[in-house]
Structure 1
Amino acid sequence: MSETVVHNERRHRFEIMLDGELAGFAHYDLSNGVASFDHTEVQPRFNGRGLGTTLVQAAFDQVRAAGQWKIRAVCPFVSTFVKRHPEYHDLVVR
């Protein structure tokens, strides 16, 4: 199975596709250069595959590569991800 994470700027979210099908997304609000990730969702039939972690990690990697934003973890899933992955603390605004 092929996983791809894409940035859907129009909908203010990063989406994870599994074999071309939308499996989940991480939504954000952007204000003053800070992306507040407020909701992460993986469709129930895809639960248990680690797609949420893959999605957030890829989103953070894309934010880092662009070098234009910081991140605020509002969503409980994203907040837990940040706590478990100190390598992203440089991107996080508290």
Structure 2
Amino acid sequence: MTTDSATTGPAAVTFRHEPALARYTLLIDGETVGFADYEVEGQEVLFTHVEVDPARRGQRLAGILVEQALDDVRVRTDLTVVPVCPYVVSWIDAHAEYQDLLTRGR
């Protein structure tokens, strides 16, 4: 398991990769506030679902979670990203600097 932490204001934000669960998790002050599920199929990583606690929506946490997950995939693997979750599709569409992940390895 890899963990990266950053503090923004009084809250401690932690990003965690949990490979045994095929999940990236976002925690604030130790409380899980969001997760991104994925599946690895051959040379592809499929992002299947992103969810943020409804009480925490509107804080751009889903975007932070997706960005951190994609950064981790970029650094740790050479897998091609396949966005299945509609949120991940729209996030990558809006962030041209991540679109290379859709075609690498092909």
Q: What is the TM-score of this pair, normalised by structure 2?
A: 0.84
State how far apart, in whole Å, the 1-side matches of 2:51 and 2:102 are. Answer: 20
Partner residue of 2:72?
62
Gaps of at least 5 residues in structure 2 are 1-10
Gaps of at least 5 residues in structure 1 are none
Percent identical among aligned pairs is 34
Letter in 2 for 1:80: S
1:61 partner SS: helix
Letter in 2 for 1:47: R
Work out which of the two has the higher radius of gyration on C-alpha atoms and give 1 or 2. Answer: 2
The structure carrying a bigger strand percent of its residues is 2
Q: What is the TM-score of this pair, normalised by structure 1?
A: 0.94
Partner residue of 1:27?
37
Point out which structure has higher relative CO (alpha carbons under 8 A, 6+ apart): 1
Partner residue of 1:74?
84
Deviations 1:31-74, CA, capped at 9 Å, x for gaps: 11211001000011111111000000000001111133221000
Letter in 1 for 2:101: L
Partner residue of 2:46?
36
What is the aligned residue count?
A: 93
- Point out 4+ residue stretches in structure 1 off by more than 4 angstroms: none
